[in-house]
Structure 1
Amino acid sequence: MVDKRDQPPFPDEKFVECEINTIVAKGMVKRDSLKNLLSSMYKQIGIRFIMRDYIVIITAFVLMAFFMYVVTTNGQERYNTHTNYYGIIMLVSPILYIVLSIFPFIQNKLNGTFEVEMSCKYNIYQIAAFRMLIFSILCFLLNTVWIISMALKFSSVHFVQAFLISTTSLLLFSLLFIYVLSIIKTLAAKIGIIFCWIGINLLLVMLDSAIYYQFLVSVPWYLYGTIICLSTCLYVKKMKEFMRHNKMRGANGYVNG
């Protein structure tokens, strides 16, 4: 028969609670901020790999800048019938972002490296999110320069109005695209949605530019500002979820599912 005095004392409630809290704290996955996630990715793989197709990126920027220059220099001020420059701004603003964002997925599908890159520590979706953030900033700067040029040449183009329209267009599509990436898996569907955005805006410009122009200028500035602020917050929030989700999910969900 075992003597009760030889048994070790049962731990008290405070000690048990302390041990439980220690185990829970060690077992919980630390939720890094978006800034830390991007900084960690930048330090570990470098900007050279993130922007590895820099020749394509530079070429796309040069071609878009040239297109904007042609639109600005060859455009004419029309007083009898309104040239819908605001509609053109709404259409053109996200196009460079579209091309640069979708290019890596097309390239990986053609090269057959999609599954390999999905198995890396930082998969193609996480790198795409980083690239999209950089592209949104660069496209914003390029669009701003273009709008300043148009406002200086055409009296019918008001800088603040054009700036709000351009920024709204860019942010709305950026938000739409990151939601498409997180929901839709097939490349054809992603490209289809992109062409739908371009097609709808192009149709609105071509069918009746006067009505589309009146709609764009009738939207109050504060409403444009609200949309921009809300889109920015949702974009950053969704990007953070997108990067964390793909980090935890790994390659199996995309390769097999």
Structure 2
Amino acid sequence: MKDDKWSVDYPGDSKMNGEIQAILSKGLIKPKPFHEHLMEMYRQLGFRYLFRDATEVLFTVLLVSFAMVFGLFQAMDSGKDEGGLYSYLFTMSPILYLLIASLFLVNLRKRDTFAVEMTCKYHVYQLAAFRMLVFSILAVLLNLAYILILFMFYQNFNIVEAMLISVSSLSIFSTGYLYIMQKVEMRVTSYAVIAGWLFVNVALAYISKDLYASVLSQIPFFVYISVIAGCLYLYVRRLKYFITFRNVEGVM
């Protein structure tokens, strides 16, 4: 009988696949979820570094808040119904977000320290993603607070509908603004987006304020909720791209 001491029994396909997966699971670093990236960044950097210009941001928030509340009261006084309020909300709800984004996030590549900051553990686009998420949440909460303040004095409008119109407007603008600013680097693009948003909505209200407000008020609630959910998904997806993308040259 021939000696088979040098023969080797090869494992089956299932055994090999199991061993390969075990090696990969131990050798490869699993990508962190989006929220874990954000929490780790906050723990390691802290509020002071993430919001170095907190004083300017606070001043902008207070200034815009005063203007928004004043405008809301003016809209109700002039219209005496929800028509003027709804058109005003849809047009002006993104104002706080767009001002903060334009003043504090657009000119990242123009700073003298840009090249140095890009070599840090957390580069400028990762910091921008964190800040933009915080600013968008802040804008939503403040817009809802403006409506609640108005409702304390005028109760002749649907507060739920007003909130949905405000949040959907902010969602549409912020998502579109983020996508456009990632694709086009020119500073004038930011101002063009802002001017275009205001021009289109003001023109529609000027042509027929009643028709414009009627369209906004007749859209079902589930449509507004669907728009908000869809924009939120796309917005977080773009911010996640900011967080996880390493070869950032040309992203913005």
Compute the TM-score of the two structures, normalised by the length of structure 1.
Answer: 0.81
For 2:143, the equivalent position in structure 1 comes to 143
Output one character per residue of 1:69-92: Cα deviation in whole Å (capped at 9) or x when no partner: 322444554569986221111111
| 1:122-201 correspondence to structure 2 within 5 Å | 122-201=122-201
Consecutive unaligned residues in structure 2, runs of 5 or more: none
1:101 matched to which residue of 2? 101
SS at match of 1:178: helix
Q: 1:91 to 1:13 in 2, by over 3 A?
A: same
Q: Distance in 1 between matches of 2:215 and 2:207?
A: 14
Alpha-carbon offset, residue 224 of structure 1? 1.0
Label 1:76 to 1:240 Cα distance change in 2 as closer, same or farther (>3 A). Answer: closer
Q: How many residues align?
A: 247
Q: What SS is found at the alignment partner of 2:122?
A: coil
* Correspondences of 1:230-245 after superposition (within 5 Å): 230-244=230-244
C-alpha contact 1:101 1:128 (8 A) present in aligned 2: no
Q: Does 1:13 align with 2:1?
A: no
Residues 135 and 34 (structure 1), Cα distance of their counterparts in 2 relative to 1, 3 Å cut: same
Once residues 186 and 52 of structure 2 are traced to their aligned partners in structure 1, the CA distance between those partners, rounded to angstroms, is: 23
Stretches of structure 1 that go unaligned for 5 or more consecutive residues are none
Q: Mean alpha-carbon deviation: is it higher for 226-235 or for 216-225? A: 226-235
The answer on 1:63 being equivalent to 2:59 is: no
Q: Sequence identity, in percent?
A: 29
Q: What is residue 121 of structure 2 aligned with on the other side?
A: 121
Structure 1 segments, 4+ long, off by >6 Å, are 79-82
Q: Is the 8 A contact 1:97 1:135 kept in 2?
A: yes
Structure 1 pair 114–160 and aligned structure 2 pair: CA distance change class (3 A): same
1:34, 1:240 within 8 Å by CA — same for their partners in 2? yes
How far apart, CA to CA, are the structure 2 residues paired with 1:109 and 1:22? 43
Change (3 A) 1:203 1:118: farther
Deviations for 1:177-223, whole angstroms, at most 9, x for unmatched residues?
23224433333334422332232223223332122111111111121
Give how far 1:169 is off.
0.8
Aligned partner of 2:250 among 234, 250, 254: 254
State whether residues 84 and 209 of structure 2, in contact with CA within 8 Å, keep that contact through their aligned partners in structure 1.
yes
In the aligned structure 2, how far is the partner of 1:33 from the partner of 1:58?
Answer: 30
Alpha carbons 2:84, 2:213 under 8 Å: kept: yes
Preserved contact between residue 90 and residue 165 of structure 1 (Cα < 8 Å): yes
Deviation at 1:107, TM superposition (A): 4.8
In structure 1, the residue matched to 2:226 is: 226
- Counterpart CA distance in 2 for 1:191 and 1:116 is 27
CA contact 1:140–1:167 (8 Å) conserved in 2: yes
Task: Give 2:44's aligned residue.
Answer: 44
Aligned-partner SS, 1:52: coil
State how far apart, in whole Å, the 1-side matches of 2:46 and 2:168 are. 31
The answer for the alignment partner of 2:89 in structure 1 is: 89
Q: Deviations over 1:45-81 (max 9, x none)?
A: 2121111110111001110111123224445545699
